[in-house]
Amino acid sequence: MLLAGGLLLAGPGAASADTSADAPEGPDCSVDKCIALTFDDGPGAYTDLLLDTLNEHEAAATFYVLGSKVADNTGTLQRMSAEGHEIGNHTWDHQDLTELSSQEIQSELQRTDQAITRATGEEPGTVRPPYGALDQTVRQSVNQPMLLWDVDTRDWESLDSAQVTDAAVQEAAEGSVLLFHDIHASTVEAIPGVLQELEKDGYEFVTVEQLFDGHSMESGSAYSNARGPFTEDPAPQTGAPAPRTEEPTAQAEDTAPNLQEPRPRPEGPAPQTQTEAPVR
């Protein structure tokens, strides 16, 4: 399924002389208008269909997977990796890390890193804490940068493709990190429209690593977008809960984590019972 890139580089037969070295490697976010689509809680029954859609649009994405789901979905993870997507760590089983000890946090993350590395040969570069929940213990216990988001489509709440598309298209800005969950059919069905609309607005779809390329990201620090000035996300530094804004941003989760993301639960068919891909 590397057709899209292959077709770009080489037409059938003839033009093979030009295909060798210096074909463009994709978007350059220092020039292009880049955005990162991120998909949490999978892989699930619809993830391969999502990968088909991303391929059709030559769009890269980042998947924050649960370590507990890796062993049953090794092929899907290998496909993500082979097709230019990034895989990040979303803990082993979706724990709120602020409720765990430092040792427990590290265990959640290390088990997941190991599972992903076994499946793909590549270690994840970033962590997405479930619910975006983090505190000082989490910051001190995580050995990678933490990636939050600035556009929350709340797809798990609406389960409505049109609403998901509207939220993504209306709230996205250059350097944004958009949050989706690929365990929902309604989300995966929304992505063709999301890509079409954002393409019209001139966006290039890149991985988190590509979006933050050139910026230094520190282990244990949290980031929600790649717009300058490039500073760490202003998450609470003390135990005292910060006053909440009404905006459903990633910062709002420390005190109300359950408003941000549901606990993962079976949505439709279980991942093992892969169904026929819906007719497009």
41 or 48: CB nearest Zn ion: 41
Task: Name residues contacting Zn ion, limited to 93-152 (CB under 5 A).
Answer: 130
Note whether 233 binds Zn ion by CB under 5 A.
no
Instruction: Tell me which stretch binds Zn ion (CB under 5 A): 145-153, 198-206, 222-230, 261-269.
Output: 261-269
Q: Known catalytic residue: 181?
A: yes
Using the minimum distance from each CB to Zn ion, give the nearer residue, 79 or 94.
94
Q: Is-catalytic flag, 85? A: no
Least separation, in Å, of the C-beta of 229 and Zn ion? 29
Find the shortest distance in angstroms from Cβ 66 to Zn ion.
8
Min CB(266)–Zn ion separation in Å: 14
Annotated catalytic residue, options 85, 90, 94, 181: 181
Q: Should residue 261 be labelled a site residue for Zn ion when binding is judged by CB under 5 A? A: yes
Residue 40 as a binder of Zn ion (CB under 5 A): the answer is yes
Residue 98 near residue 260, CB atoms below 8 Å? no
- Name the residues annotated as catalytic: 40, 181
Q: Which residues of the shown chain bind Zn ion in the complex (CB under 5 A)?
A: 40-41, 130, 261
